[in-house]
A and B are shown apart, each in its own frame.
Chain A
Amino acid sequence: NAGVTQTPKFQVLKTGQSMTLQCAQDMNHNSMYWYRQDPGMGLRLIYYSASEGTTDKGEVPNGYNVSRLNKREFSLRLESAAPSQTSVYFCASSEARGVSYNEQFFGPGTRLTVL
């Protein structure tokens, strides 16, 4: 079991460029999440998908779009990157069922720099 995988691991963009961050999980989890992590700010939720076919905004959704492609995959898209989007992006998943409902498992992250 690879758990949660993310690609790419590193990315440098110029302002205005677009890109898609990929995430996949092999734990058969129902829910998936995208976070960004900035120094002094902790982890902030961008978007989440409670189940296949649904997506909802989190705390900081502006400038991002998401797609829940199937139960395994959840992608995050930056349509026009801005320097303020320089951050480390983490994908997470959770079973969202039973006693372990809230336990989220994280991927290794994508380190994005926007110049």
Chain B
Amino acid sequence: GQQLNQSPQSMFIQEGEDVSMNCTSSSIFNTWLWYKQEPGEGPVLLIALYKAGELTSNGRLTAQFGITRKDSFLNISASIPSDVGIYFCAGHPYSGAGSYQLTFGKGTKLSVIP
């Protein structure tokens, strides 16, 4: 089946630094989603992308749907301690009716040093 490669697996950054992480697929996706999971909680949807080349922001978070449709990027600007958590990408090869199963990356664990 499809696989999503998410990198880096983990990162330690200083508070105030910008963060970049990405997700690549072996096949074309038409939907990319980014989630954040904090310890002991369920994943929370941050950003949804539906169009190649699309750039979408949510506060200090910006995500892009890659032009090739095989990748997506998430950037966090001016990191703060509450950004700590695991960030997951998820994708789907279809859009609209008939599609239910998302493919998830294994996550990027972000640690922020005050």
Q: A residues near B, CB below 8 A? A: 4, 31, 33, 40-43, 45, 48, 50, 56, 58-59, 90, 92, 94, 96, 99-109
Contact = CB atoms under 8 A, between A and B. Distances in A.
A57 to B, nearest CB: 10
B105 interface: yes
B48 A100 contact: yes
Contacts of A59: 1, 101
B102 interface: yes
Interface residues of B, number: 26
B30 to A, nearest CB: 9
A107 B33 contact: no
Contacts, number: 59
Contact of A90 (B42, B48, B95, B101): B42
Contacts of A99: 50
Contacts of A108: 41-42
B99 A40 contact: no
B92 A40 contact: no
Interface in B58-110: 88, 90, 92, 95-97, 99-102, 104-107
Contact of A103 (B33, B41, B88): B33
A40 B95 contact: no
Contacts of B97: 101
A101 B101 contact: no
B113 interface: no
The 8 closest A-B pairs by CB, nearest first: A106-B42, A42-B106, A43-B104, A102-B31, A106-B43, A102-B92, A42-B104, A108-B42
Contacts of A43: 43, 88, 104
Contacts of A33: 100
